[in-house]
């Protein structure tokens, strides 16, 4: 056991398996008290959160299980209360819980949209907003939210997921700005990891698909946890409002939207629709972004 997070109490949502489980286990190994939150159950109906909790406690860590649904405000309140009731304080939240409801946009249902947004974005708001007064009062606290390159870059058939994960990046930035004066930090990570949620949607039929699968297998979920725990630690006390990425043994720092070109029309009557069409748009075109997807931008194999 290490002590990088010694004495801290950390909630990890969606930690009954995959990336979240490894984050919870690494946080415990680094000395944190961990609330393992997940609504999932295994094929025998046993709580996945409880299984991870038992594993952490059996190896000398300190963890409790929560099956509260963070997409519901009242349930999210119970999650925060459980941390305070069991450990007396709360120091960090990892908003990792997420779901996929993939569908090409022109066939996406309202239900598929709502289900995705409620977990991927509203769930992050619920836990962060409920914990915010606690962090404000104690003048310390840290959020780590999981965004995705599906939102930051783009992906096919994921309008709901893309919108939610892009929203998470905006939410994190807003929290960082609003709560900076209370020494509360908020950062995002876009994780690359082959988890059960993602593996089910990856075809392995053609030779090309099989080759792609071998590349994806390198992106093991335990590789995300070190960056998360580093951001939770006091060593990152001056880092907030940032967007990171983690893939195998690589860590990325993402750019954030800023103006890259400017155009003005200060003569011939000033700006008009015709002037924008004739002058501004042609001048901007060389700097415009193409419709790339994540695999186009991250074109090299994981290291």
What amino acid positions are annotated as catalytic residues?
161
DSSP string, the chain: ---TTTT-EEEEET-SSHHHHHHHHHHHHTT-EEEEE---B-TTS-BHHHHHHHHHHHTT-EEEEE---TTSHHHHHHHHHHHHHHHS---EEEE-------B-GGG--HHHHHHHHIIIIIHHHHHHHHHHHHHHHHT-EEEEEE--HHHHT--TTBHHHHHHHHHHHHHHHHHHHHHGGGTEEEEEEEEE---HHHHTT----SHHHHHHHHHHTT--GGGTHHHHHHHHSGGGTT--S-EEEEETTEEEE-------------STTS--HHHIIIIIHHHHGGGPPP---HHHHS-SPP-
């Amino acid at each position: 056991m290490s002590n990088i997070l010694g004495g801290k109490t950390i909630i990890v949502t969606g930690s009954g398996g995959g990336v979240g489980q490894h984050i919870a286990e690494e946080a415990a190994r680094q000395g944190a008290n961990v609330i393992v939150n997940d609504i999932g159950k295994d094929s025998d109906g046993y709580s996945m959160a409880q299984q991870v909790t038992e594993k952490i406690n059996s190896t000398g860590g300190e963890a409790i299980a929560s099956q509260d649904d963070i997409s519901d405000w009242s349930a999210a309140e119970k999650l925060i209360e459980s941390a305070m009731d069991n450990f007396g304080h709360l120091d960090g939240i990892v908003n990792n819980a997420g779901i996929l409801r993939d569908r090409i946009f022109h066939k996406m249902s309202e239900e598929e949209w709502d289900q995705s947004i409620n977990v991927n974005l509203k769930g992050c708001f619920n836990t962060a907003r409920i914990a915010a007064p606690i962090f404000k009062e104690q003048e310390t606290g840290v959020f780590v939210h999981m965004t995705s390159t599906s939102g930051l870059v783009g992906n096919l058939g994921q309008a709901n997921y893309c919108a939610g994960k892009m929203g998470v990046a905006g939410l994190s930035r807003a929290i960082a700005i609003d709560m900076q004066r209370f020494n509360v930090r908020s950062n995002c990570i876009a994780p690359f990891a082959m988890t059960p949620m993602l593996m089910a949607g990856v075809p392995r039929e053609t030779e090309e698909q099989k080759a792609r699968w071998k590349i994806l297998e390198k992106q093991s979920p335990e590789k995300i946890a070190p960056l998360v725990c580093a951001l939770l630690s006091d060593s990152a006390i001056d880092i907030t409002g940032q967007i990171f990425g983690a893939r195998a043994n690589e860590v990325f720092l993402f750019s954030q939207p800023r103006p890259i070109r400017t155009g003005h029309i200060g003569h011939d009557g000033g700006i008009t629709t015709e002037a924008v069409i004739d002058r501004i748009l042609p001048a901007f075109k060389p700097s415009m972004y193409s419709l790339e997807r994540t695999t186009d931008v991250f074109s090299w194999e994981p290291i």
